[in-house]
Amino acid sequence: MEPFCSQTSVKTNYGLPKPKASYFPTNKDSPLCVNKTFYDGIAKTAGKGERKLIEKFVIPIRSAKAWKVPKRCVCRIIAVEGPQVGDLDIWNFNNPREHMWAARTRQLQSAHVSVYDRLWSNLPFLRPLVTITGDSLKNRGQDEWGGRCHDLMGTRCDPYVDKLLSGEDNDFHCHSNLTRAVMPYGLTEYDIHDVLNVFQLTGLTDKDQYFMEPCPAKKGDYFEFFAETDVLCALSCCPGGDLSLWDWGEGDEKSNVDMTSCCRPLGVEVYEITNDDVLKGWKEPQPPNYKGNHGLKTPVFKR
Q: What is the largest CA-CA distance in the chain?
A: 77
- What's residue 1's pLDDT? 37
pLDDT at 2: 44
Closest CA to 155 of 94, 220, 200, 206: 200
Query: Can you give the pLDDT at residue 251?
Result: 53
What average pLDDT does this structure show over 270-289? 96
Q: What is the pLDDT of residue 301?
A: 66
**Angle formed by the axes of helices 159-166 and 174-182, to 10°?**
160
253: Cβ contacts below 8 Å, ≥ 6 apart: none
Nearest to 113 by CA among 92, 98, 135: 135
Rounded-to-integer distance, Cα 74 and Cα 32, Å: 20
* pLDDT confidence of residue 248: 63
Count of C-beta atoms within a 10 Å radius of residue 110: 15
Burial pattern 226-248, b for ≥16 Cβ within 10 A else e, equals: bbbbbbbbbbbbbbbbbbebbeb
Q: What is the total residue count of the chain?
A: 303
Task: Give me the pLDDT at residue 165, please.
Answer: 87
pTM of the model: 0.90
pLDDT in tens, 19-68: 888 888 888 778 888 999 999 999 999 989 999 999 999 999 999 999 99
- What is the tens place of the pLDDT at every residue in 37-48? 999 999 999 989
Model pLDDT, residue 200: 95
Asked if 220 and 79 touch (Cβ cutoff 8 Å), the reply is yes
Does residue 152 have a pLDDT over 60?
Answer: yes
Torsion angles phi and psi, residue 252, rounded to 5? -60, -50
